[in-house]
Amino acid sequence: MKILPLLILLTGLPAIQIVAAPTTDLTLRVAPEREVVYNQGPREIVVQIDLDAKRPQTNTRSPINLCLVLDRSGSMQGAKIEKAKQAACLAIDHLSDQDFLSLVTFDNECDTLIAPERVGDERHRSAMKSRIDRIRPGGGTAIYGGVSLGAEQLRRNLQKEFVNRIILLSDGLANSGPSRTSDLAKLGKTLRQDGLSVTTVGLGDDYNEDLMTALAEASSANYYYVRDAEKLPGIFAEELGVARSLVAREVIIRIRVPEGVRLKEIIGQPQIHCQDRSAEITLPECFGGDKRRFLARCVVLNPQTAAIEVASVDLRYQSSSGIAAMTDAQAAKISFSDQEKKADESIQAEVTKEVAVAENRLTKEKAVKLSDEGKSKDAALLLRDQVTRNLSATGAAQLPEMKAENRALEAAAQEVEEKGQLSSRSRKTIQYENWQDKYQKR
């Protein structure tokens, strides 16, 4: 059977059975990679599960309990600290009078510059901005301590109906207190269990991107890689705009497959455990405009003569108010054929493209790891093998997007081969693009 490679042209949406939910807060779509499976060949099939959150009306706003945690270490000297302060002041302008704001700064030590309080009127906002203007850089980088102190501020006004969010900004490596990626991931997981989340903003090319990504992922928040300090105010505005648009809480997606089918994995999501015939995906929150995609790899153990529902998907969540329980359910259906051509003709381009994007992301993740381990030749070979797979595509798949992707892969392979490892900037760029692909941010 021919497998279509990376970045197939979207020739149209797949045939999807959509069951309307009682509300349009979240839209569930389920589609198989192909509608017909060749019963004489490999019987592995991917089911794509899409969850789209509506954009709320402009007058719909979620209350925010926000703590800004700002790096004031010596490396923030100059334009970085000035733009960080400007971004913090802009954050105040994006909050309503009744929102809570606190601000923590850190170098070797961690201090609460603004204890949690209502943002209030213009006079009070100006007083807050004056305190922010007095921030001066110097010292090391105690990220763990800064986030922990920020969490203490949020807990003083922790309310379920609020978006309880930390925004962490740092330009350096954690070198004071717990500093391993696993330490920050564990902290993020604990905070998420308490109803808190940490959006991380990495500035420049010297911070630890693994640590910042792990903290954001573990707490179910966002991550940004910002090379230019001039963009910080825009990033803060974007993040606060998203945080104000909460549309659903306690989202649960349950996937089940029938007898004779095995649920092998959720591609690129090893933290989601598949129990042979079922899996459960939980999302603590969904914000307006969020798009989440999961690719469930199924194996048909015994081909059938009739059509089957290869996977059924149930969605359950609460409205943003936390009161109403909403549900939806859909199924991916397939049939079988002894004609390979018929099976190939039933391939759904959108799903196949997303599978290829996910597999390409996993390849780049492996290449980064090999580069870190000093295995530059293996990393370069892995990247070039991916290019070869892309180039072996049929003519219809030879698109400008794939050519650009191949050029980027080849450039990374050449760099790691010539220099022995990826540069800090290249590594961050690959990692950030991978994060965006994983969470449908680009």
The model's pTM is 0.88
d(CA 142, CA 174): 6
280, 174: one domain: no
362, 421: one domain: yes
Asked which of 329, 344, 359 is the last residue of a domain, the reply is 344
84, 230: one domain: yes
Query: Domain with 132 in it: what CATH number?
Result: 3.40.50.410
14 within some domain: no
168, 298: one domain: no
229, 125: one domain: yes
76, 91: one domain: yes
**Domain residue limits at 410:** 351-438
355, 340: one domain: no
Residue 41 phi/psi, 5-degree rounding, is: -115, -160
As for how many domains the chain has, the answer is 3
196 within some domain: yes
Closest CA to 315 of 16, 24, 110, 33: 24
Report the pLDDT value the prediction gives residue 22, as an integer from 0 to 100: 44
Q: How far is CA 400 from CA 6, 7, 97, 406, 407, in A?
A: 12, 9, 48, 10, 11
Summarised one tens digit per residue, pLDDT across range 360-374 is 899 999 999 999 999
Cα angle 267, 408, 236 (rounded to 5 degrees) comes to 75
Query: Domain with 281 in it: what CATH number?
Result: 2.60.40.3670
Residue 139's Cβ-count burial label (10 Å; 0-12, 13-18, 19+) is: middle
Residue 270's Cβ-count burial label (10 Å; 0-12, 13-18, 19+) is: exposed
166 within some domain: yes
One digit per residue, pLDDT tens: the chain, 442 residues? Answer: 333 333 333 333 333 333 333 457 899 999 999 999 988 867 899 999 999 998 877 667 889 999 999 999 999 999 999 999 999 999 999 999 999 999 999 999 999 999 999 999 999 999 999 999 999 998 899 999 999 999 999 999 999 889 999 999 999 888 888 999 999 999 999 999 999 999 999 999 999 999 999 999 999 999 999 999 999 999 999 999 988 899 999 999 999 999 989 999 999 999 999 998 999 999 999 999 999 999 999 999 888 778 999 999 999 999 877 677 788 999 999 999 988 888 888 888 888 888 888 888 999 999 999 999 999 999 999 999 998 987 876 554 555 667 788 888 999 999 999 999 999 999 999 999 999 999 988 7
Sequence-ordered strand ranges (E) for 33-148: 36-38, 44-53, 64-71, 100-106, 110-118
403 within some domain: yes
319, 370: one domain: no
d(CA 13, CA 354): 13
Closest CA to 198 of 180, 231, 230, 224: 224
Report the pLDDT value the prediction gives residue 243, as an integer from 0 to 100: 87
292, 186: one domain: no
- Contact present, 2 and 394 (Cβ < 8 Å): yes
Report the pLDDT value the prediction gives residue 8, as an integer from 0 to 100: 33
d(CA 178, CA 78): 27
93 within some domain: yes
Asked which of 344, 362, 380 is the last residue of a domain, the reply is 344
Long-range contacts of 278-283 (CB under 8 A, 24+ apart): 278/254, 279/254, 279/255, 280/252, 280/253, 280/254, 280/255, 281/252, 281/253, 281/254, 281/255, 282/250, 282/251, 282/252, 282/253, 283/51, 283/220, 283/251, 283/252, 283/253
Report the pLDDT value the prediction gives residue 127, as an integer from 0 to 100: 96
- Helix 400-419 with 376-391: angle, nearest 10 deg: 160
d(CA 243, CA 236): 11
Report the pLDDT value the prediction gives residue 393, as an integer from 0 to 100: 61
Stated length of the chain: 442
233, 103: one domain: yes
312 within some domain: yes
8 within some domain: no
364 within some domain: yes
The 10 Å CB-count burial string (b at 16+, else e) for 219-258 is bbbbbbbbeebebbbebbeebbebbbbbbbbebebebbbe
Asked which of 321, 344, 367 is the last residue of a domain, the reply is 344
194, 266: one domain: no
204, 69: one domain: yes
- Break the chain down into helix, strand, coil percent, rounded to 5: 40, 30, 35
d(CA 266, CA 272): 7
